[in-house]
Each structure stands twice: as structure tokens, then as C-alpha cells.
Amino acid sequence: MGAILTLLRGCLAFLCYVANTLFWFVPILLLGLVKLLPIDALRTLLSHGIDGCASGWISVNGLIARLWHPINIKVSGDAVLDTREWYMVIANHQSWVDILVLQGVLNRKIPFLKFFLKQQLLYVPVLGLAWWALDFPFMRRYSTAELKRNPKLRGKDIEITRRACAKFKHKPVSVMNFVEGTRFRPEKHRKQGSPFNHLLRPKAGGMAFALSAMGSQIHKLVDVTIHYPGKVPSFWDYISGQVYEVRVHIQVTNIDDGLRGDYMNDRAFKQQFQERLNAIWVEKDKIFEQLATQEARQQDV
């Protein structure tokens, strides 16, 4: 009986999420098409409207979650957030549920989150066009083999990053980056020889390029640590009510000029940036351990 209820809850929640996505997709796409007009003031106004629609979509997603699969999200930290600020947001990455948790926790507290996406995701039905209208940066990474065949491609991915981030200079934005580059898996952790107990090694390049492209406008770093008591959930676990609690720690720090520079050509800056990001990851690993320890203490009680 319990399995049937779980299946029913998950299916009903999924249908609600699909309906909500399709409902908001229409105005987002229409406004995105109008935004193609070469009028800067109009584009800025429409960008606010599109982000407002996206925030509405997330708010309704929150109502669906509370209706079909309520989750206790415990947020810690002393972060002071503002929708009028420019932010770089980083987080550890364990599951696609991370995105839903981040959106739910940060929605309407900071500007709408813009994720760096692989170019192939532009072709995902419905969502690809929505991400395009929302000015999500689509990235193209060239393999070593491609660069050998065509050396002119070297540095082109960085230029794409700069052009994508240039759109964010006219209105407050939150640029999201999973700096581990992929979801945490024990086998990946072992293969990397990661020095961290709960995290993969952070990859500094994408974050460094984005900060360089944005310039001094983006001067706040939001560092989010996510921990799932019990096990890391799948999307189905999430929507079918098998996730009861999530622990989230949010820390905000300033981004100083020491984190802006020529990551590609300045070896000293590159080393310095990597060292500072590693220091952040050392602290994040400790925070993750503290969140996990809280879980153990609760189980003992």
C-alpha cells in the first residue's frame, strides 16, 4: 500500500510540475522573442518581466512541493541577501535535486539564478527555449582533439563566457556555478584522489572567467553547502515524498580584486585563484561534516 501511495504522489506531483512549467513557458518565450528587438531599454524591461515570470514559476513549484511532498529545509548561516545585488553563487553538487533546493531557498531573496549550461541543453524541449529567453549562458567546451585540429578555437570558449556575462551588467543577477563540474560520486571521489572528505576537487576556470567578464559589478559570493540526511536523493525520490529533510548552510563574503584577473595567461593569478578556491572548499568540507554530525546526533537521540 505504501508503494502505491508513493507512486501516486510522485505521478500527481510530476503532472503538476509539468503543467506549471508549460503555464509559465508561454509568457517567458513570448517576452524572450520580443526582447530580440534591438532596443536596449526595452530589453532591460523585458528581462525584469521574464525573471519575474521565472520567480513565479519557482513559487508555484514550492506550493506543489508543500501539497504533495512537504520537505523540511533547515537553513543555517547568517547571510544577508538582497535582490538588488549582483552575486556569484557556488555550491557542492550531489544531485539534480540541488537545483530545486537552491531555487526554493534563494527565490525572491536574490536575483533569479542563472546557471551555466552546456550548449547541447539548448535543444531540450520547452526548457531549452525557456533557458534561452532567461539569458542562461550556454557554454561550448572544446576537446583537446578539436583544439589540435583547429588551434583557432583556443580561447573561444572564454570569449563566449565573456559575451554571455556581458548581458548581466545592466541589471542585478545571480550567476550560479557548480565548481566541482559534476555530481559527487564515491567512485569519482576516489578517482580524483580528492583531499576533501565529502567534496570533489573544485575547478576554478569557469568561476574565474565569469568574475573577470563581469568586472567589479559582481562583488558578493554566496557559498551554499547542501547536505541530505540519509542518502542523496534522485528527482523521483524528491517528488514522490521520499525526501523529508535537507540541510543548507549559506555564507556570504565579499569578492575582492584579488579574485579578478587573467586566469588564462597570468600564471601567478591562476595559482592564487586556485589556492583561494581550495581554501573555500576546505571550509565547506568542515561545514558539510558539521551538518552530517547534526544528523548523527539526532539519530542518537
Please check whether residue 92 is in contact with residue 185, taking contact to mean a CB–CB distance below 8 angstroms: no
What is the rounded average pLDDT of the residues 171-193? 93
Sign of CA dihedral 269, 164, 43, 82: negative
Residue 151 has a CB neighbour count (10 Å cut-off) of: 9
What is the rounded average pLDDT of the residues 224-233? 96
- Non-local (6+) Cβ contacts of 168 within 8 A are 86, 114, 135, 175, 214, 217, 218
Residue 110 is classified by DSSP as B
- Non-local (6+) Cβ contacts of 301 within 8 A are none
177 phi and psi angles, rounded to 5 deg: -140, 115
180 phi and psi angles, rounded to 5 deg: -70, -20
The per-residue pLDDT for 301 is 46
74 phi and psi angles, rounded to 5 deg: -95, 115
For the chain, what is the mean pLDDT? 89
Of 182, 206, 181, 186, nearest to 196 (Cα)?
Answer: 186
**pLDDT tens track for 155-171:** 666 677 777 777 787 78
The per-residue pLDDT for 31 is 96
Percent of the chain with pLDDT over 90: 65
Asked whether residue 187 carries a pLDDT value surpassing 90, the answer given is: yes
The per-residue pLDDT for 298 is 58
- What sections of the chain are H helices per DSSP? 2-34, 40-68, 97-106, 127-133, 144-149, 156-166, 186-192, 205-214, 235-239, 267-300
Residue where the block lists cell 558539521: 290
The per-residue pLDDT for 143 is 64
Of 35-44, 188-197, 231-240, the poorest mean pLDDT is in 35-44
The amino acid at 62: G
Domain boundaries, the chain: 71-300
**pLDDT tens track for 41-58:** 898 899 999 999 999 999
Asked whether residue 215 carries a pLDDT value surpassing 90, the answer given is: no
Strand partners, 253: 221
Please check whether residue 150 is in contact with residue 170, taking contact to mean a CB–CB distance below 8 angstroms: no
For residues 278 and 202, what is the distance between their CA atoms, to the nearest angstrom? Answer: 7
Domain 71-300 belongs to what architecture?
Answer: 3-Layer(aba) Sandwich (3.40)
The per-residue pLDDT for 147 is 66
